[in-house]
Amino acid sequence: QKEVEQNSGPLSVPEGAIASLNCTYSDRGSQSFFWYRQYSGKSPELIMSIYSNGDKEDGRFTAQLNKASQYVSLLIRDSQPSDSATYLCAGAGGYQKVTFGTGTKLQVIP
């Protein structure tokens, strides 16, 4: 079982819609969670971090964490073609190791 699991996609949404990206994790010791965006051929870019149960909003992005269900999600409102990228979910426990999922490819259709 992978420690952090994501659907590889592609997830296709029309421009202006809400994109919902999901991630599950197996390590109950994980305390910190991160969402990164990675454009093709580029390095990952941190877009959200979340540490507590509930929602965290930053502009068009909302991260959601449910530790009881071991579930993390990222909502992107008013999706734009420029949001088309691979979104990486990552979790970290008490140690230094940050474990990444394989990423979900998002396609926003104009």
Partner 1 sequence: ETGVTQSPTHLIKTRGQQVTLRCSSQSGHNTVSWYQQALGQGPQFIFQYYREEENGRGNFPPRFSGLQFPNYSSELNVNALELDDSALYLCASSSSGGANEQYFGPGTRLTVT
Q: Which of 4, 65, 74, 106 binds partner 1 (CB under 8 A)?
A: 4
- Whichever of 20 and 93 has its CB closer to partner 1, that residue is 93
83: left (phi over 0), alpha (psi -120 to 50) or beta: alpha
Binders in 14-53 for partner 1, by CB under 8 A: 31-32, 34, 36, 42-46, 49
Conformation bin of residue 42: beta by default, left when phi > 0, alpha when psi is -120 to 50 = beta
* Cα–Cα distance measured from residue 73 to residue 48, given in angstroms and rounded to the nearest whole number: 11
Shortest CB 104 distance to partner 1, Å: 11
Q: Please count the residues of the chain.
A: 110
Residue from 24, 35, 103, 108 binding partner 1 (CB under 8 A) = 103
Contact flag: residue 11 with partner 1 (CB under 8 A): no
Structure tokens belonging to residue 72: 């993390």
Whose Cβ is closer to partner 1: residue 4's or residue 72's?
4
Q: Is 51 helix (H, G, I), strand (E, B) or coil?
A: coil
The only residue of 21, 72, 85, 90 in contact with partner 1, by rule CB under 8 A? 90
| Count of C-beta atoms within a 10 Å radius of residue 39 | 12
Question: Would you tell me which residues interact with partner 1 (CB under 8 A)?
Answer: 4, 31-32, 34, 36, 42-46, 49, 88, 90, 92-93, 95-103
